[in-house]
């Protein structure tokens, strides 16, 4: 394989055709998908986005902006009480199935960083949304 496969763990927008689109009135942003789409356009990176959907019923996959995006259902409640350990346990087999060269956790919320650390693969954890905090 001549490309690098990166699994991005982070939030992604729900596509309009998604069975649970519109159920969630709030979404934190699309920077993870934007980063992955930019990587895909280089032809050197095969990015895959994996995101959790609290209260989702089933795992679904879509292609958005040339990026395979996997939505993983997780319980709606009790996730933070376990420090997102159960979310991580749901994500780890998917990472193993995808076989990435690098796991990139976008933020520490939703257990993404914990999962990247536990994956046993090369990993990166990004911290977003701190620019304003640093400059105040």
Phi, psi of 40 (to 5 degrees): -60, -40
Residue located via tokens 């902006």: 65
Show the tokens assigned to 29. 């942003």
Per-residue pLDDT of the chain (136 residues; tens, 9 = 90+): 578 999 999 988 887 777 666 666 556 678 899 999 999 999 999 999 999 988 888 899 999 999 999 999 888 888 878 888 889 999 999 999 999 999 999 977 778 999 999 999 999 998 766 555 555 5
């Amino acid at each position: 394989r001549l490309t690098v496969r990166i699994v991005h763990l982070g939030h992604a927008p729900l596509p309009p055709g998604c069975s649970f689109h519109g159920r969630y009135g709030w979404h934190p942003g699309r920077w993870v998908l934007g980063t992955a789409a930019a990587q895909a356009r280089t032809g050197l990176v095969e990015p895959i986005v994996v995101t959790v959907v609290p209260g989702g019923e089933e795992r679904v996959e879509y292609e958005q902006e040339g990026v395979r995006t996997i939505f993983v259902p997780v319980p709606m409640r009790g996730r933070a009480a376990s420090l997102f350990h159960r979310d991580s346990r749901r994500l780890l087999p998917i990472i193993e199935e995808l076989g990435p060269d690098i796991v990139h956790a976008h933020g520490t919320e939703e257990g993404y960083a914990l999962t990247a650390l536990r994956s046993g693969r090369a990993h990166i954890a990004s911290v977003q949304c701190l620019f304003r905090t640093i400059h105040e």
